[in-house]
Amino acid sequence: MILKQEEQAMLEGGFGEGVKLAMKVQVALGEAFDAPYMVPVTRTHVALSNQEADLWFAEKLANGGATCRVRPTVNPSFNFEQLSCITHIEKEDEETVKRTHDAYNRLGAIMTYNCTPYLEKNVPMFGEICSYSESSCTPYMNSVYGARTNREAAQSALCAAVTGVVPYYGYLLDENRKGEILVHVEADMENDFDYQMLGYFTPKKTGFKLPVFTGLKNPSKESLMNFGAQLNTGGNVAMYHIVGFTPEAPTVEAAFHNGDIKEEVTVTNDDLREMQSMLTDGYGKIDFALYGCPHFTIDQVTIVAEMVKGRKLAVPLFIMTSGLTLDLAKKMGYYNTIREAGGYIVSDTCMDQPCWKFLYGKKGITDSPKCAYYTKRRDMEFVIVPLEQSVEAALKGEITGYRK
Amino acid sequence: MKEYKCHKISEGRAEGEVLFSEDDFCFYLVDPKTGVVIEKNHCLYGKSIAGKILVFPNGKGSSVVQADGMYQLKMTGMEPKAMIVKNPDTTLVASAIITETVLVDRAEDSFYEDTADGTVVAVDATKGIITVKY
């Protein structure tokens, strides 16, 4: 790899041990993928996780004197103050949260604790070269905005933030952004939930190929957020095109860079219903409702608030969202409405954090397959249905229907 | 001693018994205390990767869990001595570098034909050579 003078100096330790380690990771990635050189990034997002390796690596960089040249936004941890009112938090988990916060703060990260930075606080322009880790981010950045990022690891994105550069490979190159398989969507696509199912289902048919969709009409930001999250959970899809909608796909020809369409598949209503029945656990009594994987938008909070207004939830309902959305929900009265019904809105928090131990062994309801995916390892069952249906179930304490 | 070319990803040199995985590999689904694969339906389910030269087609797992799995194995000393992968991805590469685990790709086809579980090899990532010992 050809390095610029300053990059070489970083690699040789001229900017301290932390920067040296970060550049070493970037160079190794470049060599692994035959990148000719580094390119500057203008935005970064790091999937902070509080996991052992996350804390260890962030502390190693910080203790080595590194700070971020391109300050990243960061993924959720958990909101210690809010969660302590809901459940008992183990001393060691509290300790980890505080140490991770301290390490990232020293690195100069922007402590957004939110997994949808592309909707607030870290929104790119078309063509911007970025480094984002987090499964719902990469597809949204590449596909919806036409910004350019690889499917970064938490650590490689942090190294990009520290060094300000990424190796030039993968989705940064035009030739890797062309469509490889055409997906005709014949399903009706009536709500955001259909996009969750389409996202989870598509990789089963398209594998590692870059999918180009036809038949999708003006999906909402929530639809696109869910769509990307599930494409990258059900498979490893870091980029897609929607013909006539996303910026690099004004036409089918443009999406395929004027190349041949070698493969085509069709997705029907039946495919999506079948996907749902494979993902969901059996209907019946539920113990809780949990939302916000990815973080809920204010519009999704509004749907819940309007449904529970003046009523009492039969089981506790939890919404995870950003601090900004929590503030909005308070200003707009939704927070009180949901609290009065027996529900909670918690900010800065993720499904994959140890603060949900009190729900282990119980049965929940949600609208997100990704939410249920991570909890499989924690002995939590999830019924997965559209948002409105799940809130109705939380008001009753059970969900009835064909799937018992 | 037969030698095979490979391509360095994460530097270093290690020697040990080869263990082949036909399936993609997620280090989060390995018990860090024992190095035993705990992923049901995985071809290495119930087998230990500790101290092996692990050969597999692709990494798998989110941007976060792969590094964590590898890090935990490193802390208990149950990590593989080296890894030989077909198709490296960003997460696997970053995880190998930060945990300083030897990783190579682009091993010659004949390496895959000539070796089997238990073959003892030396992987020299820095020089880009895999040597079959016995």
Homologous superfamily of the B3-132 domain (CATH) = Phosphohistidine domain (3.50.30.10)
Taking an 8 Å cut-off on Cβ atoms, the answer to whether B68 and A24 are in contact is: no
Residue type (1 letter), A51: Q
Catalytic residue numbers of B read: 62
Provide, as residue numbers in chain A, all residues whose Cβ is less than 8 Å from the Cβ of B87. none
Q: Tell me which chain A residue has its CA closest to the CA of residue B29.
A: A377
DSSP state of B22: S
pLDDT class for A224, splitting at 50, 70, 90?
very high
**B63/chain A closest Cα distance in angstroms:** 4
- Beta-bridge partners for A366: A384
pLDDT given at position A404: 40
Nearest to A53 among B67, B88, B90 (CB): B67
Q: Is A262 exposed, middle or buried (0-12, 13-18, 19+ CB in 10 A)?
A: exposed
pLDDT tens for residues A372-387? 876 666 678 899 999 9
| Beta-carbon separation of B10 and A170 below 8 A | no
Taking an 8 Å cut-off on Cβ atoms, the answer to whether B64 and A51 are in contact is yes
Contact A134 B67 (CB under 8 A): no
Chain A residues in contact with B39 by the CB 8 A cut-off are none
B90 vs A contacts (CB less than 8 Å):
29, 150-153, 156, 170
Residue A339 has pLDDT above 90, yes or no: yes
Closest in A28, A134, A155 to B67, CB measured: A155
Distance of residue A255 Cα from the nearest chain B Cα, in angstroms: 24
**Measured distance CA(B52)–CA(B78) in Å, rounded:** 9
- Which residue is closest to A158 within chain B, CA to CA? B94
Is beta strand A264-267 parallel, antiparallel or unpaired with respect to A181-185? parallel
The hierarchical CATH code for the domain A178-277 is 3.40.50
Interface of A with B (CB under 8 A): 21, 24-25, 28-29, 31-33, 47, 49, 51-54, 56-57, 133-135, 150-157, 159, 170, 236
pLDDT surpassing 60 at residue A210: yes
Contacts of B75 in chain A (CB under 8 A): 52
Separation CA A91–CA A57 (nearest Å) = 22
Domains A5-174 and A280-399 share a fold: yes
Of B66, B68, B93, the CB nearest to A28: B93
Contact A32 B88 (CB under 8 A): yes
Count CA within 13 A, CB hemisphere, residue A322.
23
Q: Which of B9, B64, B88 comes nearest A154 by C-beta?
A: B64
Answer whether residue A235 shows pLDDT above 50.
yes
pLDDT score at A402: 63
Which of B66, B75, B97 shows the shortest C-beta gap to A28? B97
Low-confidence spans in chain B with pLDDT less than 70? none
Substitution target from B98, B100, B103, B104 for chain A, most A beta carbons within 10 A: B98
3-state secondary structure chain A: CECCHHHHHHHCCCCCHHHHHHHHHHHHHHHHCCCCEEEECCEEEECCCCCHHHHHHHHHHHHCCCCCCCCCEECCECCHHHHHHHCCCCHHHHHHHHHHHHHHHHHCCECCCCCCCCCCCCCCCCCCEEEECCCCHHHHHHHHHCCECCCCCHHHHHHHHHHCEEECCHHHCHHHHCCCEEEEECCCCCCHHHHHHHHHHHHHHHCCCCEEEECCCCCCHHHHHHHHHHHHHHCCCCCCEECCCCCCCCCHHHHCCCCCCCCEEEECHHHHHHHHHHHCCCCEECCEEEEEEEEECHHHHHHHHHHHCCCCCCCCEEEEECHHHHHHHHHCCHHHHHHHHCEEEEECECCCCHHHHHHCCCEEEECCHHHHHHHHHHCCEEEECCHHHHHHHHHHCEECCCCC
Domain ranges of chain A: 5-174, 178-277, 280-399
CATH superfamily, domain at A5-174? Aconitase, domain 3 (3.30.499.10)
Average pLDDT over residues A68-82: 95
| Average pLDDT of the segment spanning A109-125 | 97
Residue A403 has pLDDT above 60, yes or no: no
Distance from CA of A30 to the nearest CA of B (A): 9
State how far the Cα of A275 lies from the Cα of A103, in Å rounded to an integer: 41
How many Å lie between the alpha carbon of A33 and the closest alpha carbon of chain B? 8
Average the pLDDT over A192-203 and give the result.
95
From B72, B93, B99, residue closest to A32, measured CB to CB? B93
Domain at A280-399, CATH homologous superfamily? Aconitase, domain 3 (3.30.499.10)
Q: Where are the domains of chain B?
A: 3-132
Partner-chain contact A155 B94, CB within 8 Å: yes
B25/B61 Cα distance (integer angstroms): 8
Q: Which residues of A touch B67 (CB under 8 A)?
A: 53-54, 57, 153-155
Assess whether the previous peptide bond of B80 is cis (omega < 30° from 0).
no
pLDDT at residue B60, as a whole number? 84
Is the pTM higher than 0.80? The answer reads yes
**Distance from the A307 Cα atom to the nearest Cα atom in chain B, whole angstroms:** 34
Q: What pLDDT does A222 receive?
A: 97
pLDDT tens for each residue of A135-165? 899 999 999 999 999 999 999 999 999 999 9
Please report the pLDDT score of residue A377 as a whole number: 62
